[in-house]
Amino acid sequence: MKIGLLTSGGDCQGLNAVLRGVAKTLMGCISDLELYGIIDGYRGLIEGEWRKMGSEEFSGILRQGGTILGTSRQPFKDMQTLNENNTNKLDMMLSNYKKHGFDGLVIIGGNGTHKTAYLLSQNGANVVTIPKTIDNDVYGTDLTFGFDSAVEKATYVIDAIHTTAASHGRVFVIELMGHKVGWITLCAGIAGGADVILIPEIPYDVEEVLKAIEYRNKSGKNFSIIAIAEGALTKEEAELSKKERNNLFLTPGNRLAKILSERLKQDVRAIVPGHLQRGGDPTATDRLLCSRFGAMAGELVKEGRFGNMVALRGTEIVPVPLGEVAGKLKSIEEDSQFLHQAKSLGISLGTPDD
């Protein structure tokens, strides 16, 4: 039985733990198994680049960050675009899949990856997927792996900034990852005790941010911490077209810091931890989730239950049909308990009803 493994899209902590989980499970239950590591995600499948892997390659990688297979971004929108050879990436992948005689693929990735995986599955490839991303925005699962590790890193930054902000009586704007959704910012913001949390799902009012800082100053707190997602927008910015937004000067955190420094007497600083949030070892919680996801994916392959993503629902790992997942985003809903609780804790979300 020939099974291909691939990791696709932006990397995150736990990819190797998942690969190990899948490999251990498959090696333990399929006697004629041939396992192939496809290089750099869909790129390797498009170009026919993979290597046969033995059990030794999966040894000692449980806690290793990054991915031993490499990864790349291959946008879904380009998958069916005709190229100079009058073919497209989807057809090239399907043709390589058939030519090599793959019996199945375990595809590990985020939202874009899932759209392509569903397309492959609809076109005859046997596919099981595993939801990966620090953003935690894959629909159909309570958590994606990588998220816990990223929140840990982001919370560390907020913690560390607290002491220097307090010493100098400064306002710090900490810009965290998440273009479309604010899960990292909201969760790390709550865990790190941020005073203001600004997320892409809720366009914010600068005046409300100023009010929250002034309120803290009046109550004797001479510093404030603002956690802002890289996709957060002011009310005014949210009205702009996508093209106009792409032309905005500076990043959201730096834009806000600039505005605040013009309006406040306090010093204002911005910090962008960036890819640090995706680097390094996975947390124990992520390693556990990765190992459980990997085991379930291996079991699904063994049982021939293709066309599914493994998902966390409550405390159970369950299969969810790809058709229920692909193309949907798990953003923070307006009535989310997380938002309600953030407000109860006195955190400003940059809106008048805080």
Q: Give the SS3 label for residue 133.
A: coil
Q: Does 199 bind ligand F6P (CB under 6 A)?
A: no
Q: Does 200 bind ligand F6P (CB under 6 A)?
A: no
Q: Which residue is nearest to ligand F6P (CB)?
A: 177
- Residue keyed to tokens 């595809």: 107
Measured from the CB of residue 133, what is the shortest distance to ligand F6P in angstroms?
A: 5
3-state helix, strand, coil in the chain (%, to 5): 45, 20, 40
For the four alpha carbons of 8, 11, 12 and 14, in that order, the dihedral sign comes to positive
- Binder of ligand F6P out of 133, 144, 234, 291 (CB under 6 A): 133
For residue 285, the one-letter residue type is: T
Compute the radius of gyration of the chain from its Cα atoms: 22
Measured from the CB of residue 9, what is the shortest distance to ligand F6P in angstroms?
A: 7
Q: Catalytic one among 32, 78, 103, 135?
A: 135
Q: Does 134 bind ligand F6P (CB under 6 A)?
A: yes
Q: Does 40 bind ligand F6P (CB under 6 A)?
A: no
For the four alpha carbons of 318, 94, 34 and 66, in that order, the dihedral sign comes to negative
Q: Does 278 bind ligand F6P (CB under 6 A)?
A: yes
Between the alpha carbon of residue 86 and those of residues 41, 82, 98, 99, 257, the distances in Å are 23, 6, 19, 19, 50
42 and 72 in contact (C-beta within 8 Å)?
A: yes
Number of residues that bind ligand F6P (CB under 6 A): 10
State yes or no: is 135 an active-site residue.
Answer: yes
List, in sequence order, the alpha helices (H) in 132-223.
147-168, 183-192, 206-218
Measured from the CB of residue 242, what is the shortest distance to ligand F6P in angstroms?
A: 16
Measured from the CB of residue 352, what is the shortest distance to ligand F6P in angstroms?
A: 28
Query: Site residues for ligand F6P, window 63-102 (CB under 6 A)?
Result: none
Q: Does 135 bind ligand F6P (CB under 6 A)?
A: yes
Nearer to ligand F6P, 8 or 25 (CB): 8
Measured from the CB of residue 228, what is the shortest distance to ligand F6P in angstroms?
A: 13
Piece in contact with ligand F6P (CB under 6 A), picked from 28-36, 87-95, 173-181, 321-329: 173-181
Piece in contact with ligand F6P (CB under 6 A), picked from 47-55, 129-137, 186-194, 260-268: 129-137
Q: In sequence order, what are the beta bridge partners of 6?
A: 107
Q: In sequence order, what are the beta bridge partners of 348?
A: 196
Piece in contact with ligand F6P (CB under 6 A), picked from 131-139, 167-175, 196-204, 330-338: 131-139
Show the tokens assigned to 13: 């902590």
Piece in contact with ligand F6P (CB under 6 A), picked from 41-49, 96-104, 127-135, 218-226: 127-135
- Binder of ligand F6P out of 179, 221, 305, 313 (CB under 6 A): 179
Q: Does 229 bind ligand F6P (CB under 6 A)?
A: no
Between the alpha carbon of residue 202 and those of residues 188, 197, 199, 302, 332, the distances in Å are 17, 10, 6, 43, 9
Helix axes 15-29, 284-303, angle to 10 degrees: 40
Q: Does 177 bind ligand F6P (CB under 6 A)?
A: yes
How far is it, in rounded angstroms, from Cα 132 to Cα 136? Answer: 8
Nearer to ligand F6P, 110 or 189 (CB): 110
State the catalytic residues.
135
